[in-house]
């Protein structure tokens, strides 16, 4: 789909879900009046009852599987995610319908992509204790998995929790005991640290942290993608060390992603954080709805305004792709579904796609959505996805 068709598709989608602005409406109506063909197309799409029937079927879909883990973890916090996700899903649905009209494709005639035992990710991780022992974790059992000094490590349906044992006082050198929580491809997990800070780990991520923080500061080491809800403590600043970059936290919520080729992305939702680079004195302060992008090559930091919700959709059970390259999208899918990706033609990596898709859907659903909007085809054999024209 070329850029003009994509823009018209976006405007029609916003119109059909009732979220179009006055300026966007003017642009859409200008296009409609340009030709009889445009007018006929618009009437066919917006006036046809097919999209209403499809939306009605969509509303009946049991979304419990997609939201259960998310709702358990937030426990009433940041509830506006549901409103945003519902809007994004509706827009994505209508975009799919409009794309169908553009291309004249019938879903029933599309080549079926066969996925062999490829399931979406789930709650699973490995916890490495200070002794070197490794414990496999899942969200199916609730039990005490270890005792580290004065701290008890408890596994729950929501993740692991570090709790002070009532029978012991003091930290007994716990600040010198480090644990590492690691998720593999196809896994996700969360941890509540000793100070009450909550960290959500996406697939292929790792968090190293002391069993209990000392009295001066709180420092953790991270790689991958994670969402941090840092407990406020004016006496002890919180630091996240990523590569040659350090994030100083002032009691806040933010997302960190080290997977991007361009560097490390830090997106702030609430509060305030400061970004500093190893060997440099300057600190870059972020405001809510801003992103700092750290360039690993030249150690520079660029700060810009963004829509933070699209960067943290993964935590709510969705993929949010905004004009991302096919290579970046397939890398994301590879981590979540634990698959390998092969490109018949490397030029296909540079194609771009925009869409909001359910993270817990079967991979065939995701691939079909991309096929309908981008001129590519997918073939799945075993756990390898081949991308071709």
Question: Do 30 and 89 reside in the same domain of the chain?
Answer: yes
Distances in Å between the alpha carbon of 383 and those of 81, 340, 365? Answer: 32, 6, 16
pLDDT at position 141: 83
Question: Do 283 and 238 reside in the same domain of the chain?
Answer: yes
**Is 117 within the bounds of a domain?**
no
Strand partners, 210: 178
CATH code of the domain containing 326: 3.55.50.30
**Is 275 within the bounds of a domain?**
yes
Q: Is residue 341 a contact partner of residue 334, using CB atoms and an 8 Å limit?
A: yes
pLDDT at position 192: 96
Structure tokens at 163: 């709790």
Number of domains, the chain: 3
Q: Residue 79 region, left (φ>0) first, then alpha (ψ -120 to 50), else beta? A: alpha
Strand partners, 151: 148, 164
305 vs 46: CA distance, rounded Å: 33
CATH code of the domain containing 281: 2.60.120.1440
Question: Do 249 and 372 reside in the same domain of the chain?
Answer: no
Question: Do 292 and 323 reside in the same domain of the chain?
Answer: no
pLDDT one digit per residue (tens) for the chain, 389 residues: 556 776 777 787 777 666 677 788 888 888 888 888 788 777 776 664 554 554 454 444 444 444 454 455 444 444 445 455 555 555 555 566 566 556 555 444 454 445 457 889 999 999 999 999 999 999 888 889 888 878 899 999 999 999 987 654 455 556 678 999 999 999 999 999 999 999 999 999 999 999 999 889 999 999 999 999 999 998 899 999 998 899 999 778 999 999 988 889 999 999 999 999 988 889 999 999 999 999 988 889 999 999 898 899 999 899 998 888 999 999 999 999 999 999 988 899 999 988 888 898 888 888 988 988 888 999 888 889 999 98
b vs e for 251-271, b when ≥16 Cβ sit within 10 Å of the residue's Cβ?
Answer: bbbbbbbbbeeebbbbbbbeb
Among the listed residues 53, 58, 47, 48, the one whose alpha carbon sits nearest the alpha carbon of residue 89: 58
Looking at 311, 343, 372, which one is the last position of a domain?
311
Question: Do 290 and 327 reside in the same domain of the chain?
Answer: no
Question: Do 166 and 59 reside in the same domain of the chain?
Answer: no
51 vs 97: CA distance, rounded Å: 7
Question: Do 275 and 365 reside in the same domain of the chain?
Answer: no
Question: Do 128 and 270 reside in the same domain of the chain?
Answer: yes
- Owner of token pair 């602005």: 21
Looking at 282, 311, 340, which one is the last position of a domain?
311
**Is 61 within the bounds of a domain?**
yes
* Cβ contacts of 153-156, under 8 Å, gap ≥ 24: 153/127, 153/179
pLDDT at position 246: 95
Domain that holds residue 67: 3-109
**Is 334 within the bounds of a domain?**
yes
Residue 364: HSE in the Cβ half-sphere, 13 Å Cα cutoff: 12
Q: Is the pTM of this model over 0.85?
A: no
**Is 41 within the bounds of a domain?**
yes
Distances in Å between the alpha carbon of 354 and those of 85, 306, 316? Answer: 15, 16, 18
pLDDT at position 355: 85
Question: Do 274 and 351 reside in the same domain of the chain?
Answer: no
**Is 25 within the bounds of a domain?**
yes
**Is 116 within the bounds of a domain?**
no
Question: Do 173 and 243 reside in the same domain of the chain?
Answer: yes
pLDDT at position 230: 95
**Is 199 within the bounds of a domain?**
yes
Looking at 61, 84, 109, which one is the last position of a domain?
109
Question: Do 137 and 278 reside in the same domain of the chain?
Answer: yes
Question: Do 177 and 299 reside in the same domain of the chain?
Answer: yes
């Amino acid at each position: 789909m070329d850029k003009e068709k994509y823009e018209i598709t976006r405007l029609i989608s916003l119109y059909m879900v009732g979220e179009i602005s006055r300026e966007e409406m003017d642009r859409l109506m200008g296009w409609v009046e340009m030709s009889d063909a445009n007018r006929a197309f618009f009437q066919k799409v917006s006036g046809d009852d097919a999209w209403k029937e499809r939306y009605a079927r969509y509303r009946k879909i049991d979304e419990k599987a997609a939201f259960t883990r998310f709702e358990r973890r937030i426990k009433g916090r940041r509830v506006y995610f549901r409103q945003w996700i519902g809007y994004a899903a509706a827009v994505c649905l209508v975009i799919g319908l409009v794309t169908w009209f553009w291309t004249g494709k019938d879903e029933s005639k599309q080549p079926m992509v066969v996925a062999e035992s490829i399931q979406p990710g789930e709650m699973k991780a490995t916890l490495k204790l200070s002794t070197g022992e490794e414990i496999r974790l899942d969200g199916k059992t609730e039990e005490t998995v270890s005792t580290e000094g004065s701290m008890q490590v408890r596994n729950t349906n929501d993740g692991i929790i570090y709790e002070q044992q009532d029978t012991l006082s003091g930290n007994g050198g716990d600040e010198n005991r480090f644990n590492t929580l690691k998720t593999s491809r196809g896994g996700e997990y969360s941890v509540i640290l000793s100070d009450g800070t909550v960290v959500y780990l996406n697939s292929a991520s790792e968090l190293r942290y002391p069993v209990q923080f000392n009295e001066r500061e709180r420092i953790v080491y991270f790689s991958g993608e994670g969402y941090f809800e840092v407990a406020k403590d004016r006496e002890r600043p919180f630091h996240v060390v990523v590569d040659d970059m350090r994030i100083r936290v002032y009691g806040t919520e933010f997302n960190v992603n080290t997977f991007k080729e361009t560097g490390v992305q830090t997106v702030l939702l609430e509060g305030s954080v400061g970004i500093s680079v190893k060997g440099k004195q300057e600190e870059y302060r972020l405001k809510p709805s801003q992103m700092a992008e750290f360039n690993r090559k030249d150690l520079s930091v660029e700060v810009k305004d963004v829509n933070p919700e699209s960067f943290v959709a993964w935590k709510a059970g969705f993929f949010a792709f905004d004009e991302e390259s096919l290579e970046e999208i397939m890398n994301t899918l590879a981590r979540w579904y634990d698959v390998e990706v092969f490109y018949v033609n490397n030029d296909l990596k540079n194609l771009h796609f925009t869409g909001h898709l359910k993270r817990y859907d079967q991979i065939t659903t995701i691939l079909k959505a991309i096929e309908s909007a981008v001129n590519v085809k997918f073939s799945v054999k075993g756990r390898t996805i081949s991308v071709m024209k």
